[in-house]
């Protein structure tokens, strides 16, 4: 028996590692255990509002059409996390959302805001939304072209707060001129690619919340 265990040890370790990875990647999204009503509200920057394209060609509009649910787009060009923070109480929560999508951080990176400041602003937004027991879907953006200083920050926020998450929505778009209108902003095709990435996670949340059958 000891010889048999020794011979199968690599396989056993591989299975245990696989199970560990699965467990580490799974987490519960807070406030999805009860049915919700109200619109999906997107609080974002120009990546959500759209830049040099019609509003009906943004990823938000694409998701609205694909999923057939009410999605309010509060994307605003050039806005940072600090400037977005007061908008949670002033614009987001008065809409009584069933779900909030946060897409922020890109302008912080462009303006070289301190990482701790960006994280603190996002955490404050999460806290305010969670006071109303509303679940959150966080959309990640790169924190730099050569080095993504935001990846760990987003992942830590997700784990610490029980958020749904779609990482780096601009992956492959920043390096593809045919998917952009300039060096940063996606064109209509780029927005469709973002919608493709966000749709599965958003749909799963909507079904849990009873917003989408």
The SS3 of residue 64 is helix
The SS3 of residue 178 is helix
The SS3 of residue 103 is strand
- Listed residue (206, 195, 181, 150) closest to 58, CA to CA: 195
Q: What is the pLDDT of residues 79-105, one digit of tens each?
A: 999 999 999 999 999 999 999 999 999
Average pLDDT over residues 133-158: 93
| C-alpha distances in Å from residue 194, one per residue of 133, 167, 174 | 27, 11, 12
| Average of per-residue pLDDT values in the chain | 89
C-alpha to C-alpha distance for 81 and 87, rounded to whole angstroms: 10
* Strand ranges, E, within 104-163: 136-139
The SS3 of residue 79 is coil
**Which percentage of the chain shows pLDDT scores above 90?**
83
Q: What is the pLDDT of residues 182-191, one digit of tens each?
A: 999 999 999 9
Q: Are 39 and 212 in contact (CB under 8 A)?
A: no
C-alpha to C-alpha distance for 88 and 68, rounded to whole angstroms: 24
Q: Which pLDDT belongs to residue 147?
A: 81
Average pLDDT over residues 157-182: 97
Q: Which pLDDT belongs to residue 1?
A: 39
- Listed residue (129, 138, 123) closest to 198, CA to CA: 138
Q: Which pLDDT belongs to residue 6?
A: 39
Q: Which pLDDT belongs to residue 19?
A: 38
**CATH of residue 171:** 3.40.50.1110
Pairing of strands 40-44, 71-73: parallel
Q: Are 39 and 71 in contact (CB under 8 A)?
A: yes
Q: How far apart are the first and last CA of the chain?
A: 53
Average pLDDT over residues 33-46: 97
How many domains are there within the chain? Answer: 1
pLDDT at 136 over 70: yes
Average pLDDT over residues 133-137: 98
Q: Which pLDDT belongs to residue 144?
A: 79
Q: Are 165 and 140 in contact (CB under 8 A)?
A: yes
Average pLDDT over residues 93-118: 97
Q: Which pLDDT belongs to residue 20?
A: 36
Residue 90 lies in domain: 2-209
The pTM of the full predicted model, rounded to 2 decimals, is 0.87
pLDDT at 146 over 90: no
pLDDT at 66 over 70: yes
C-alpha to C-alpha distance for 176 and 96, rounded to whole angstroms: 38
Q: What is the pLDDT of residues 18-34, one digit of tens each?
A: 433 333 334 689 999 99
């Amino acid at each position: 028996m000891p010889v048999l265990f020794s011979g199968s040890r690599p396989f056993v370790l591989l299975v245990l590692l696989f199970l560990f990875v699965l467990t580490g990647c799974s987490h519960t999204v807070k406030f999805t255990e009860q049915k919700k009503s109200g619109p999906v509200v997107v609080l974002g920057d120009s990546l959500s509002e759209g830049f040099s394209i019609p509003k009906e060609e943004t990823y938000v509009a694409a998701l609205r059409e694909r999923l057939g649910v009410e999605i309010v787009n509060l994307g605003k060009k050039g806005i940072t996390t600090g400037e977005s923070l007061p908008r949670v109480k002033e614009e987001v929560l008065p809409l009584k959302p069933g779900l909030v999508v946060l897409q922020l951080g890109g302008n912080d990176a462009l303006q070289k805001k301190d990482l701790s400041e960006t994280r603190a602003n996002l955490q404050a937004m999460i806290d305010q939304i969670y006071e109303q027991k509303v679940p959150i879907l966080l959309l990640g953006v790169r924190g730099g072209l050569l080095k993504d200083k935001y990846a760990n920050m987003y992942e830590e926020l997700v784990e610490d707060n029980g958020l749904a998450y779609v990482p780096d929505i601009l992956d492959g778009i920043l390096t593809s001129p045919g998917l952009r209108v300039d060096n940063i902003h996606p064109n209509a095709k780029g927005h469709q690619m973002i919608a493709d990435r966000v749709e599965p996670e958003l749909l799963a949340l909507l079904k849990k919340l009873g917003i989408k059958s």
